[in-house]
Amino acid sequence: MTNDELRNALLNAPKNGYADLTDAQRAEMEEYCKRYAAFMDACKTEREATAWTVAAAKKHGFTELKPGMSVKSGDKVYFNNRGKSVLLAVVGSESLAAGANICAAHVDSPRMDLKPNPLYEDSEIAYCKTHYYGGIKKYQWTAIPLALHGVICLKDGTAVNVTIGEDDSDPVLMVSDLLPHLAADQMKKTLAEGIAGEQLNVIVGTEPLSGEGSELVKLHIMKLLNEKYGMVEADFRCAELVIVPAGKCREVGLDRSLLGAYGHDDRVCAYAEIEPLLTMETPKHTAVCILADKEEIGSVGISGMQSQAFEYFMGMLCDSQGVNLQQCFANSFCLSADVSNAYDPNWPETCDRRNNSLLNYGVSICKYTGSRGKGGASDASAEAMNHVRTTFENAGVRWQIATLGKVDQGGGGTVAAYMANRNIVTVDAGVPVLSMHAPIELVSKLDCYMTMLACKAIYLA
Footprint of Mn ion on residues 338-377 (CB under 5 A)? 338
Of the listed pieces 118-126, 177-185, 263-271, 389-397, which binds Mn ion according to CB under 5 A? 263-271
DSSP assigned state of 350: G
Q: Give the SS3 label for residue 145.
A: coil
Of the listed pieces 29-37, 236-244, 298-306, 336-344, which binds Mn ion according to CB under 5 A? 336-344
Q: Residues for the chain: how many in total?
A: 461
Closest residue by beta carbon to Mn ion: 266
Binding mask 294-333 for Mn ion (x = CB under 5 A): ----------------------------------------
CA distance 138 to 195: 6
Q: Least distance to Mn ion from the beta carbon of 296, Å? A: 5
| Cβ contacts of 399 within 8 Å, gap of 6 or more | 362, 363, 364, 365, 388, 389, 392, 393, 429, 450, 454
Element (H, E) at 46: helix 46-59
Q: Which CB atom, from 236 or from 262, has the smaller least distance to Mn ion?
A: 262
Q: Least distance to Mn ion from the beta carbon of 369, Å? A: 10
CA distance 461 to 456: 9
Of the listed pieces 160-168, 234-242, 334-342, 374-382, which binds Mn ion according to CB under 5 A? 334-342
Q: Least distance to Mn ion from the beta carbon of 437, Å? A: 6
CA distance 454 to 205: 47
Q: Which CB atom, from 225 or from 442, has the smaller least distance to Mn ion?
A: 442
DSSP assigned state of 150: E
Q: Which CB atom, from 240 or from 338, has the smaller least distance to Mn ion?
A: 338
Q: Is 273 in the site for Mn ion (CB under 5 A)?
A: no
Q: Least distance to Mn ion from the beta carbon of 135, Å? A: 7
Q: Is 75 in the site for Mn ion (CB under 5 A)?
A: no
Q: In the Cβ-directed half-sphere of 90, how many Cα atoms lie within 13 Å?
A: 24
Q: Is 266 in the site for Mn ion (CB under 5 A)?
A: yes
How many residues at the interface with Mn ion, by CB under 5 A?
3
DSSP assigned state of 270: H
Q: Is 108 in the site for Mn ion (CB under 5 A)?
A: no
Of the listed pieces 71-79, 162-170, 335-343, 451-459, which binds Mn ion according to CB under 5 A? 335-343
When binding is defined by CB under 5 A, the residue of 265, 273, 293, 428 that contacts Mn ion is 265
Nearest alpha carbon to residue 108 among 163, 48, 32: 48
CA distance 239 to 223: 17
Contact between residue 171 and residue 164 where contact means Cβ atoms under 8 Å apart: yes
Summarize as ranges the residues that interact with Mn ion (CB under 5 A).
Answer: 265-266, 338
